[in-house]
A = this chain, B = another copy of it.
């Protein structure tokens, strides 16, 4: 999920840019950062599919930004510029209250201070029957896994060894089966659903 030595300059740790190179090689990933071109292949299909039918996103605070502790005078508005790629309500888990932030394109960041169940309830309500996407990071995903709240996972494994950093999985007992595994030139995708 991240390499060693995470700080403001290396928000995902040293070397971890390689984890997401495949995204910025796709047409959808490049559109997200206002760039033309990009591949229209399995990587693009699966990255795009991650946004299909999603009505709300839940993410951890470190996924939203590098600010730690109380928000203070911070005017941080997320990693994604003025028009974030969500276009729906995003619920950010934090211990510190923060007023909602409305962005262009229909994205509003809401800050939830009372845990994952509260965040999920708000997201379900906001999504009006559409799916909820869990944006990360690792500790947020592990909290939802432990609570048995995840139906399906798309895990993209980039062929890079970082030598440390943050892992996706701890020792959560989990019951998922792989429904699809497919490798492009850049990354291998594993799609997991609950074991039947």
A178 proximity list for chain B (CB < 8 A): 159-160
Contact A161 B174 (CB under 8 A): yes
Q: How far is the CA of A170 from the CA of B151 in the complex (A)?
A: 29
A192 proximity list for chain B (CB < 8 A): 159, 161
A167-196 to B contact mask, C-beta < 8 Å, 1/0: 001011111111001110100101010000
**Is A148 on the interface with B (CB-CB < 8 A)?**
no
Q: How far is the CA of A67 from the CA of B160 in the complex (A)?
A: 35
With A159-B181, A183-B188 given, name 19 new contacts (CB 8 A). Answer: A4-B171, A157-B157, A157-B188, A159-B178, A159-B190, A159-B192, A160-B178, A161-B174, A161-B176, A161-B192, A163-B173, A163-B174, A163-B175, A164-B171, A164-B173, A181-B183, A181-B185, A182-B183, A183-B183
A49-66 to B contact mask, C-beta < 8 Å, 1/0: 000000000000000000
A interface residues (Cβ-Cβ under 8 A, vs B): 4, 157, 159-161, 163-164, 169, 171-178, 181-183, 185, 188, 190, 192
- The residue among A157, A163, A176, A178 with the most chain B CB atoms within 10 A of its own CB is A163
Contact A163 B171 (CB under 8 A): yes
A4 proximity list for chain B (CB < 8 A): 171
Given B160, B169, B175, B181, which contacts A188 in the complex, CB threshold below 8 Å? Answer: B181
A160 proximity list for chain B (CB < 8 A): 177-178
Q: How far is the CA of A4 from the CA of B157 in the complex (A)?
A: 22
Q: How far is the CB of A4 from chain B (nearest CB, A)?
A: 7
Among residues of B, the one whose C-beta sits closest to the C-beta of A185 is: B181
Among residues of B, the one whose C-beta sits closest to the C-beta of A181 is: B159
- The residue among A159, A169, A192 with the most chain B CB atoms within 10 A of its own CB is A159
Q: How far is the CA of A159 from the CA of B154 in the complex (A)?
A: 12
Closest 9 CB pairs of A and B: A159-B178, A183-B183, A164-B171, A159-B181, A163-B174, A163-B173, A188-B188, A159-B190, A161-B174
